[in-house]
Amino acid sequence: MATQVFVLIPHAAGKADDAALELLSAARAMFPGVTPTALVLGAGADQTAVAQEAAAAYPEVWGFSQEVLAYPNAELIRPLLLKILPAGAVVLLPHSTLGIDLGPGLSVKLGAAYLPDVVGFDGIDGSLLKVVRQEFSGQVSAHVQADIVKGAVITVRSGAFQPAQPGPAAGTVVDKSAEAAGLTARRRFVEVVQAEAGDVDITREDVLVAVGRGIGEQDNLSLVDELAEAMGATVCCSRPIVDAKWLDKGRQVGTSGATVKPKVYLALGISGAFQHLGGLKGSPFVVAVNKNPKAPIFQAAQVGVVGDLMELLPELTQQIQKAR
C-alpha cells in the first residue's frame, strides 16, 4: 500500500525522547519499504538541535520552528498537522500524555483510523493493519484490525518496540516553519508546575516495599509498615493509594510518579499496569504477591505468590523479625 508515514518526534530541553527511535522501529515494522518522515515541532535552538538529532536516524525531517510551539500544546499541533499532512497519511505518536491529548481528535479531523496504545504488530494485508493492544490493565491482549485506506493515527506504548539504531547522519532537514505561522488555539499554555518532593526519596532506595489497591483499607497499611520496618526497607505505592490520599505523591512509582531503580522490589496487591511498571527500572529482583494468578505483575516478577496479603504479611513480618 502506498502510504506516507510520519513520526512526531517528542522532545524536551533540546533532546529527542527515547520514543523517537522506538517510533522509528515501529514505523519500519509496520510499513517496511516506506521511508518515514520525522516531524520536529518546537522553537529556536532547541528545535534546531532536535531536528539535527532526528536527521541522524530519519532520512527526511520536516522542521517547524515558531515561538508558540516552544511547549507542545496539542490544540496547536492538531491544526498544524491537518494543514501539512497529505491525504491518507499514517501518523505515529508516543502513547504519552501528549499522544493521548493529540491523537483521538487528530484521527477524527483527518478522517483516519485511530489505533491507540499499540504494543505489537501482527501484519498488514492491503489496507488492513493488524496490531496488538492490551485491555483490563494488561490481563488480556487483543488483536485489533483497522482499515487504514484513509490513513491512521497510531499511538505506540513506550518500551513496546526496541529502539532503532540511528544510522549515519544522512537525513535532510526541510524547514517548513512558515507553514506554522499564525497558529492560535482556544487552549493556551501557561506553565508547568513541577511535582513536589516528598518526605522520602524513593528513587534512592535499594529495597522497596510497594503497596497497591489490594491492601484494601487504609488501616491495613500498618501491616505494610511493619513488614518494611522489619526488612529495613522503604514503603512506596501504586497510584490508587496516592489518589486515596493514604500516602504522599512522592511515594508513587510509575509514569506519573517516580522512576525507581531498587535492587529488590516487593509488590503487594499491585496488578502491574504498564503505567506502574513504567516507573520500575534497572532490573530489580521483583517479588509479587497477588490473589489473582492472572495479574500481569507476575510477568514482571522473578518470584510470585498467589495469596491473600492479610494472611501473608503478618506471618512474613514475624518470620523476618525472628530471622534477625
Ligand X SMILES: Cc1cc2nc3c(=O)[nH]c(=O)nc-3n(C[C@H](O)[C@H](O)[C@H](O)COP(=O)(O)OP(=O)(O)OC[C@H]3O[C@@H](n4cnc5c(N)ncnc54)[C@H](O)[C@@H]3O)c2cc1C
Under the binding rule (CB under 8 A), the answer on residue 165 touching another protein is no
For residues 254 and 120, give the distance between their C-alpha atoms in angstroms, rounded to a whole number: 21
CA distances 255 to 108, 124, 192, 239, 300, Å, are 27, 31, 17, 10, 16
Query: If contact means CB under 5 to 8 A according to the sort of partner, which of ligand X, another protein, none does residue 93 touch?
Result: none
For residues 36 and 138, give the distance between their C-alpha atoms in angstroms, rounded to a whole number: 30
Give the x/- contact pattern for another protein in 247-276, rule: CB under 8 A: --x--x--xxxxx---xx-x----x-----
Under the binding rule (CB under 8 A), the answer on residue 56 touching another protein is no
Q: Which residues contact 217 (CB under 8 A, 6 or more apart)?
A: none
> In the complex with another protein, which residue's Cβ is closer, 263 or 281?
263
Residues 134/156, Cβ–Cβ less than 8 Å: no
> In the complex with ligand X, which residue's Cβ is closer, 5 or 236?
236
Which position among 114, 179, 226, 261 is part of the footprint of another protein (CB under 8 A)? 114
For residues 58 and 170, give the distance between their C-alpha atoms in angstroms, rounded to a whole number: 8
User: Residues comprising the binding site?
Assistant: 213, 238-239, 252-256, 269-276, 290
For residues 217 and 262, give the distance between their C-alpha atoms in angstroms, rounded to a whole number: 26
Query: If contact means CB under 5 to 8 A according to the sort of partner, which of ligand X, another protein, none does residue 310 touch?
Result: ligand X
Which position among 86, 187, 219, 283 is part of the footprint of another protein (CB under 8 A)? 187
> In the complex with ligand X, which residue's Cβ is closer, 143 or 294?
294
- Segment 190 to 229, residues that bind another protein, using CB under 8 A: 190-195, 206-207, 213
Return phi, psi of residue 320, to 5°. -65, -40
> In the complex with another protein, which residue's Cβ is closer, 105 or 166?
105
Minimum Å distance from CB 45 to another protein?
22
Which position among 172, 218, 222, 292 is part of the footprint of another protein (CB under 8 A)? 292
Query: If contact means CB under 5 to 8 A according to the sort of partner, which of ligand X, another protein, none does residue 173 touch?
Result: none
For residues 135 and 116, give the distance between their C-alpha atoms in angstroms, rounded to a whole number: 12
Return phi, psi of residue 25, to 5°. -65, -40
Closest-CB residue for ligand X? 254
Report the 10 Å Cβ neighbour count for 281.
12
Under the binding rule (CB under 8 A), the answer on residue 3 touching another protein is no
Footprint of ligand X (CB under 6 A): 137, 212-214, 216, 238-240, 252-257, 269-271, 273, 275-276, 279, 289-292, 295, 308-310
Report the 10 Å Cβ neighbour count for 175.
14
